[in-house]
Structure 1
């Protein structure tokens, strides 16, 4: 029975796991890209309170904020194809990206909505006074200002998304967590394997936290 930490095994395992980090980051980047687009749309709908669509957006946000991401991934990958044949050919990577996008869009939409509501109403009134429509004023004037306010929380959601990609291994995606699981099963060194993957996630999060700090500093410089 092993009683001491096998540091040498961790050192040898790290380069193996790092080969799969690209898959993890690709999932996170695509997920964040689509989540951001959807979140902006949802936030604008909520702010303008578009009839019917407003209620649908509220229901969407409530569902994806109120249910676990793992359940959503299973519903999307294992459940929906039984009722929507077109989804039967969807691969695990695509399902993971869609699941991450929908889940985090619900949270990001509320952050963006809050940032929009934090902008002085006189800004929109000024837009209307010079002939802009409300939609033009939103995208040309309000959203650029709101983006500065929303950036810290959006960056936090991106970091959370990176960590949440670890759930993609439950769908069969060969990413960093899945590789750690396979290595642990073959070597029976579970603690060392998962410690190695934890160290990689930690390093990635520290890196993007630093990027977040730099971005916030640059955005706030003018203020």
Structure 2
């Protein structure tokens, strides 16, 4: 069976909805992961005793198990014991499980960025009468953000890639469109080649944006 260019182009033309779903899921998951990662990083930064234990358990579970297993557990397993989860759609099951998974890895990025700010700056700020809130907003976060941008950009790219498994719970994303279109006439080479091309274009664009953002944020520190 030879490569069929027309089939390849037809599958590409059918992908816009799947691409939109993939981008939406990735964006929502990344935002959720960022909030969760920041909370975990702050627990570690301020060394909050009664929250450190639960945060470590969370990190251990979601770093130590595959994303697809977490997604299946949330969507298929949790409703068995907790009926409230039966109303959880496959879309939001994908978003939540991806956010929980990526949040576990992004927390290490933010923790490292926060700890990279010299302690001397913290001590000097407290000496002149700054509150903890002012110290965090005006001194720690601006510097930590600059440090965290490159790895967080990589985390965003990983989130986009990770979203490719949400089709396994019934979400019609980019991979689902490729799978369904490939099944028509058994044109799997063309279908998955189209999916890889689109993912490559998305990731390439995200990488270019990342580099521009890094350059812009670094200008103030090069002057």
- Correspondence for 2:34: 36
Superposed counterparts of 1:117-196, under 5 Å: 117-196=115-194
Aligned length: 221
| 2:14 equivalent among 13, 16, 19 | 16
Instruction: Tell me by how many angstroms 1:137 deviates.
Output: 2.0
Q: Which of the residues 196, 217, 220 maps onto 1:219? A: 217
Question: What SS does the aligned partner of 2:216 have?
Answer: helix
SS of 1:174's equivalent in the other structure is coil
Are 2:18 and 2:176, in contact at CA under 8 Å, matched by a contact in 1?
A: no
Query: Can you list the C-alpha shifts for 1:152-201, whole angstroms capped at 9, x where unaligned?
Result: 11010101111111100000001111111111112201111000010000
CA distance in structure 2 between the aligned counterparts of 1:145 and 1:182, rounded to whole angstroms: 46
Q: What is residue 202 of structure 2 aligned with on the other side?
A: 204
1:46 and 1:58 in contact (8 A); partners too: no
**What runs of 5+ residues in structure 1 fail to find an aligned partner?**
none
**What is the CA deviation profile of residues 83-103 of structure 1, one whole-angstrom value per residue up to 9, with x for unaligned ones?**
121111000000111011110
Q: Residue 71 of structure 2 contacts residue 93 of structure 2 at CA under 8 Å; is this kept in 1?
A: yes
Give, in whole Å, the separation in 1 of the partners of 2:126 and 2:34: 26
TM-score by length of 2: 0.95
Distance, in Å, in 2 between the alignment partners of 1:135 and 1:113 is 17
Q: More helix by proportion, 1 or 2?
A: 2
Cα deviations by residue, 1:3-52 (Å, 9 ceiling, x for unpaired): x2112211121010123211110000001111111111100101211012
Is contact 1:124–1:134 with CA below 8 Å preserved after alignment?
no
Residue of structure 2 in register with 1:71 after alignment? 69
Aligned Cα root-mean-square deviation (Å): 1.2
Q: Distance in 1 between matches of 2:106 and 2:28?
A: 15
**Counterparts in 2 of 1:134 and 1:198: CA distance versus 1, 3 Å:** same
TM-score normalised by structure 1 residue count: 0.95
Q: Which runs of 5+ in 2 are unaligned?
A: none
Find the aligned partners of 1:40 and 1:131 in 2 and give their Cα distance.
Answer: 25
CA deviations over 1:185-223 (Å, ceiling 9, x no partner) = 122011110000100000000000000000000011111
Q: In the TM superposition, what is the alpha-carbon distance from 1:127 to its structure 2 partner?
A: 2.4
SS of equivalent to 2:220: coil
Q: After the TM superposition, which of the residue ranges 21-30 and 138-147 deviates more from structure 2?
A: 138-147
Cα deviation per residue 1:77-134 (whole Å; 9 max; x = unaligned)? 1111111211110000001110111100110000110111111111211222233333
The one of 78, 83, 93 aligned to 1:80: 78
CA distance in 2, matches of 1:113, 1:62: 16
* Distance (Å, rounded) in 1 between the aligned partners of 2:14 and 2:155: 27
- Quick check: 1:152–1:216 contact (8 Å CA) kept in 2? yes
